[in-house]
Amino acid sequence: MNGLSERIRIVLVGTTHPGNIGSAARAMKVMGLGRLYLVAPEAPFPSSRATALATSGDDVLQEAVVVDTLLDAIEGCGLVLGTSARQRSLPLPLLDPRAAAARGVAEAPSHDVALVFGREKSGLNNEETRLCHYLVNIPTSEEYHSLNLAQAVQVLAYELHLALRADTPGEIEPPDWRPEPPERLEIYFERLAATLQAIGFLNPNQPKRLMQRLRRLYLRARPDENELNILNGILSATQSAARGRTERNGD
């Protein structure tokens, strides 16, 4: 691994087959990637099957981090790319593997980057997809889309390897901008929902669609610490204002 590749996490969510974990580790190792996260694997882990298929990638398996939720796996990441075979009801920006790798490597000097792979059968659920800044779609035949999980990891690892070798930044972000990690943004979204209810803007019975749209907006913006402080400050001031009204209404 070189320095940049250490900023890149490969995250497998709910993997069912131990062989896929092993093959993914091998694909990573061959392409110079080392940081593997397993979110609530369905497969037993560690397992002899995974180790056998990892071959020389067994050190990747040994250093793999097992966590309970996707949010744990992407903690501290400034960019979260979720692979997806299908388009969602509320679409996110979509990258092909090459553009995803270019973006990941371009941002890796600033912050950790996560590349997330869903379950073999069902992919990422809506809850998990909501944590992603971009979706990554591997182009396939129109006739048959189903890429095996390890093959999908291989394609992305290969593109990341090429992008890491090339080190040509196509886009340079402002130096003072460091996107806040997902865990802080999630707290903001909860406060935002509560505040919108307090000012009577969010219908507590049907909060979902509106919050989905606001999530997409702020995930696209990727606020940094300063900006998130401002946004939280606005919520606090808004809640004070709402309390004022509530108290008055109760007069």
Which residues 51-80 are close enough to bind its own copies by CB under 8 A? 55-57
Interaction mask 142-171, its own copies, x per CB under 8 A: xxxxxxx-xx--xx--x--xx--x--xxxx
Indicate the residue among 41 and 223 with the shorter CB distance to its own copies: 223
- Which residues inside 104-123 make contact with its own copies, applying CB under 8 A? none
Q: Per-residue DSSP letters for the chain?
A: --TGGGGEEEEEES---HHHHHHHHHHHHHTT--EEEEES-SS-SS-HHHHHHHGGGHHHHHT-EEESSHHHHTTTEEEEEEE-SS--SSPPPEE-HHHHHHHHHHHTTTSEEEEEE-BTTTB--HHHHTT-SEEE-----SS-----HHHHHHHHHHHHHHHHHH---S----TT--BPPHHHHHHHHHHHHHHHHHTT-S-TTS-HHHHHHHHHHHHHH--BHHHHHHHHHHHHHHHHHHHHHHHHHT-
Answer yes or no whether residue 102 interacts with its own copies by CB under 8 A: yes
Name which of 55 and 122 has its Cβ closer to its own copies. 55
Residue 95 CB, shortest distance to its own copies, in Å, is 5
Q: Tell me if 205 contacts its own copies by CB under 8 A.
A: no
Q: Which of 86, 176, 204, 205 binds its own copies (CB under 8 A)?
A: 176
Q: Give 106: exposed, middle or buried? Use CB within 10 Å, 0-12, 13-18, 19+.
A: buried
Q: Is the peptide bond before 93 cis (omega within 30 degrees of 0)?
A: no
Residue 232-251 contact track with its own copies, rule CB under 8 A, x = bound: -xx--xx-xxxxxxxxxx-x
27 binds its own copies (CB under 8 A): yes
Which is closer to its own copies, CB of 67 or CB of 94? 94
Asked if 207 touches its own copies (CB under 8 A), the answer is no
Please state the closest distance from residue 176 (CB atom) to its own copies, in A.
Answer: 7
Q: Which residue, 71 or 138, is less far from its own copies as judged by CB?
A: 138
* Sole binder of its own copies in the list 177, 184, 188, 194 (CB under 8 A): 177
Please report whether residue 227 would count as binding its own copies according to CB under 8 A: yes
Q: Is 30 in the site for its own copies (CB under 8 A)?
A: yes
